[in-house]
Amino acid sequence: MKNNIKVTVVGLGYIGLPTAAVIASKNIKVFGYDINEKVVSKVNKGEIHIIEPGLKSIVSNSVKKGFLSADIKVNKSDVYIIAVPTPFKLNNKPDTSYIENATTNIIPVLKNGDLFIIESTSPIGTTEKIMNLIFKERPDLVGNIFISYCPERVLPGNILHELVYSDRVIGGIDEKSTKKSITFYRNFVKAELHPTNARTAEMCKLAENSARDIQIAFANELSIICEEAKIDSNELIKLANKHPRVNILNPGCGVGGHCIAVDPYFIISDFPKNSNLIQTARKVNNNKSEWCLNQIIKSKDEFEIENNKKPKIAVLGLSYKANIDDLRESPAEYIAKKLAKIISPSNLFVCEPNIERHDAFTIKKYHEAVKICDIIVLLVPHNEFINIEYIKNKKYLDFCGILKNKI
Ligand code: SAJ
């Protein structure tokens, strides 16, 4: 496909904005389309509203060179990429209304030969549903446009690299849609593009993240058993992973983020009878956060009995994983908020090196907190915490394995 194509990316969030910027950096005209006027005006000034290494420069360069612009309405294009959220409703059913609304806004400007791609994580069958929505409104397009599901698999914190160098699954509603999509992605993806059908591509995204959730659940369950068995779980996992075909992941304080903690529910809500392992893994990972909280409270009570005074507690880490500032579905934030309900503010020191402010806590400096506090709780393995000073008479609760071999 020649580079004089025009691309519209719908949804300028964690996935949409980096995707729009990377495509625009290939000197392809990209229209960002978002319902949030603040986001649109920020992007048009070459600024960004999300933290992602390298994103600011690639956005401002593309805007400056005129290849990237944003709008609150749809611009006629040749390729449309849907990268909007698919949140969960209270009834625990995935909400695809953002995808449907975006599609409805695009239908009037669709023309023969256009390529329509859904990237948003979706329940199985969403692409077919959207295809029917398009063809119901525009029967003239039947057989004349290309529709695919092409999930992203970028790791927040490394998005710009993985967008280009991670293999992608390309799932067309028919073979020509798959082929057309592969040709398009070849404009900026240097890794392998794997052809399949839309349903398989939808399930592939959910399976990848559900598999990871199950692997993490095993590590979390093992860490709780090790606590009872008085075995260092980090040492155990390190040794078990010496086996050539064993790869046990790292225990944490629970599973957060907008993907691993959420995507399994897409499968569970559609296949409740046959997803016992996936459901159990979700329960184990959610329970790990409660278990960590109970361990902290137990240490607090023991300190009070032994010292006849309330301990000062340092909580290190609020983000959902190491070295980012994203608090979405963060188990660490969940634990800190629960602690704040039972510990007076003067005795709770919440430290998160990647954010300045928080609406529920005064963010404290971790190197001061570890000196002042009696109990040091490590929830997120940020690089800043790797070399914190280990002081003998303090109680360390390391839920993320960062003090390996130090205690
Ligand atoms: N976690 C552990 N132990 C581990 C690994 C992770 O407790 O050994 C926790 C993290 O602390 C975090 C959560 O799990 O709370 C998720 O972490 P993650 O490393 O899986 O990162 P995400 O959710 O940002 O990215 C995942 C990735 N999916 C897979 O690795 C299969 C990424 O490739 C996906 O693109 C992304 O979800 C997504 O957007 O779907």
pLDDT for 199: 98
* Dihedral over alpha carbons 148, 153, 157, 160 (to 10 degrees): -50
Confirm or reject: Cβ of 320 under 6 Å from ligand 1. yes
- Whole-model pTM: value is 0.93
Confidence of residue 1 (pLDDT cuts 50, 70, 90): very low
Is residue 35 scored above 80 in pLDDT?
yes
Is residue 117 scored above 70 in pLDDT?
yes
Is residue 238 scored above 90 in pLDDT?
yes
Is residue 400 scored above 70 in pLDDT?
yes
pLDDT for 88: 85
Residue 190 near residue 217 (C-beta atoms within 8 A): no
**Mean pLDDT score of the chain:** 95
- Per-residue HEC secondary structure of the chain comes to CCCCCEEEEECCCCCHHHHHHHHHCCCCEEEEECCCHHHHHHHHCCCCCCCCCCHHHHHHHHHHCCCEEEECCCCCCCEEEECCCCCECCCCCECCHHHHHHHHHHHHHCCCCCEEEECCCCCCCHHHHHHHHHHHHCHHHCCCCEEEECCCCCCCCCHHHHHHHCCEEEEECCHHHHHHHHHHHCCCCCCCEEEEEHHHHHHHHHHHHHHHHHHHHHHHHHHHHHHHHCCCHHHHHHHHCCCCCCCCCCCCCCCCCCCCCCCHHHHHHHCHHHCHHHHHHHHHHHHHHHHHHHHHHHHHHHHHHHHCCCCCEEEECCCCCCCCCCCCCCHHHHHHHHHHCCCCHHHEEEECCCCCCCCCCCECCHHHHHHHCCEEEECCCCHHHHCCCCCCCCEEEECCCCCCCCC
Q: Is 259 a catalytic residue?
A: yes
What percent of the chain lies above the pLDDT cut of 90? 90
Q: Which tens digit of pLDDT belongs to each residue from 137-152?
A: 999 999 999 999 999 9
Tell me the mean pLDDT in the region 61-90: 95
Nearest-atom number in ligand 1 for the CA of 15 is: 39
Tell me the mean pLDDT in the region 1-16: 88
Tell me the mean pLDDT in the region 146-174: 95
Q: Is 205 a catalytic residue?
A: yes
d(CA 320, CA 382): 11
Confirm or reject: Cβ of 168 under 6 Å from ligand 1. no
d(CA 259, CA 343): 31
Q: Which tens digit of pLDDT belongs to each residue from 186-219?
A: 999 999 999 999 999 999 999 999 999 999 999 9
What percent of the chain lies above the pLDDT cut of 70? 99
pLDDT for 405: 59
Q: Which tens digit of pLDDT belongs to each residue from 309-342?
A: 999 999 999 999 999 888 989 999 999 999 999 9
Task: Give just the sign of the alpha carbon dihedral 141, 145, 151, 155.
Answer: negative
Q: Which tens digit of pLDDT belongs to each residue from 174-194?
A: 999 999 999 999 999 999 999
Tell me the mean pLDDT in the region 4-16: 96
pLDDT for 89: 79
Confidence of residue 406 (pLDDT cuts 50, 70, 90): low
Is residue 357 scored above 60 in pLDDT?
yes
Confirm or reject: Cβ of 378 under 6 Å from ligand 1. no
CA 384 to chain centre: 22
**Ligand 1 pocket test, candidate residues 259, 289, 316, 354, most atoms within 8 A of CB:** 259
